[in-house]
Amino acid sequence: MLTIDQAAYDAIVRHAKRDHPDEACGIVAGPEGSDRPERVVEMVNAAGSPTFYEFDSTELLELYKQMWDRDEEPVVIYHSHTATEAYPSRTDIGLASEPGAHYVLVSTRHWAEAGGGNNDAPVEFRSYRIVDGEVTEEEVVVVPALPAR
Amino acid sequence: MAIEVRIPTILRTYTDGEKAVTGDGASLSALIDDLEANHPGIKDRLIDNGDLRRFVNVYINDEDVRFIGGLEAQLADGDQVVVLPAVAGGC
């Protein structure tokens, strides 16, 4: 189960809409071992593509160094699909390399079909564990705020 | 010669869970062979067909090795090497 606060959830959806039709990507960092997605970090999609995403390699190193300094880890790794459902593709599964992370997929397709912009069409928001090529969908619970530590 | 190598979570099965190990080598290629001697299996996760795997990033002192010679990139005592799998995917 992924428990995420409304602000982080909204930030991910906003990012996905803003970068549509390209795939948006980023992480939500949290203290190591806490399973608390606390800090949304938007990343540049170096692939700049509607069908592929890749964190820029220099930014990726900066991100990890920052997390190591703060004793954080990527609790959530998110990206968007812009024309297909919010389910990990074969490429997503093959390249998933953080077995401890929640892989969040959002899909902007219905929102885009409805005209994009400020329309209220839903953006699919789903979460998965991807371990050794095995995908397990999990429940997403959105809370007003994460419980106090 | 001692070179510190930062190991990503996904490869720590080869290093008994260690986050960082020490290796030796005058080039990245030699370093990887040295790592393989102590952590069998790790080389195959870094190299494919004689070249660095497309979705593995290796940095020497914060520089992506792809810009400084790839496997032939030179190493010196005290250098820091970081291995990070690419975060990537596609529909």
Kindly report the nearest CA distance between residue B58 and chain A, in angstroms: 9
ipTM passes above 0.85: yes
Query: Which of chain A's residues have a Cβ under 8 Å away from the Cβ of B82?
Result: 61, 64
Token reading at B9: 């979570």
Taking CA A26 as the corner, what is the angle to CA A23 and CA A30, rounded to the nearest 5 degrees? 160
B/e letters for B36-53, b = 16+ CB within 10 Å, e = fewer, are beebeebeebbbeeeebe
Q: Which residue of A has its CA nearest to B83?
A: A61
Distance from the A148 Cα atom to the nearest Cα atom in chain B, whole angstroms: 28
> Would you say residue B38 lies in a domain?
yes
List of chain B residues whose C-beta atoms are within 8 Å of the C-beta of residue A54: 86-88
Shortest CA gap A56–chain B (Å): 9
From start to end of chain B, where are the E strands?
A: 3-6, 20-23, 47-48, 51-52, 56-60, 63-64, 80-85, 88-90
pLDDT (tens digit per residue) in B16-74: 999 999 999 999 999 999 999 999 999 999 999 999 999 999 999 999 999 999 999 99
Give the DSSP letter string of A84-146. Answer: S-SS--HHHHHH---TTSEEEEEE-HHHHHTTSTT-----EEEEEEEETTEEEEE-EEEESSP
Amino acid at A65: K
Does some domain include residue B91? no
Q: Classify residue B62: in a domain, yes or no.
A: yes
Q: Please state the domain count of chain B.
A: 1
Q: Number of residue pairs across A and B with CB atoms under 8 Å? A: 76
Judge whether B61 lies within some domain: yes
- The predicted-structure confidence for A38-97, as pLDDT tens digits, reads as follows 999 999 999 999 999 999 999 999 999 999 999 999 999 999 999 999 999 999 999 999
Q: Which of A57, A64, A95 sits opposite B89 (nearest CB)?
A: A95
Instruction: For chain A, give the number of residues.
Output: 149
CATH number at residue B58: 3.10.20.30
| B74 assigned to some structural domain | yes
Cα A16 from Cα A79, distance rounded (Å): 8
Digit-coded pLDDT (tens) for A101-124: 999 999 999 999 999 988 888 999
- Assigned domain for B90 exists: no
Has residue B47 been placed in a domain? yes
Verify whether the Cβ–Cβ distance B59 to A61 is below 8 Å: yes
Q: What's the domain range around B18? A: 3-85
CATH fold of A2-143, please? Answer: Cytidine Deaminase; domain 2 (3.40.140)
Return the number of other C-beta atoms located less than 10 Å from residue A99's C-beta.
12
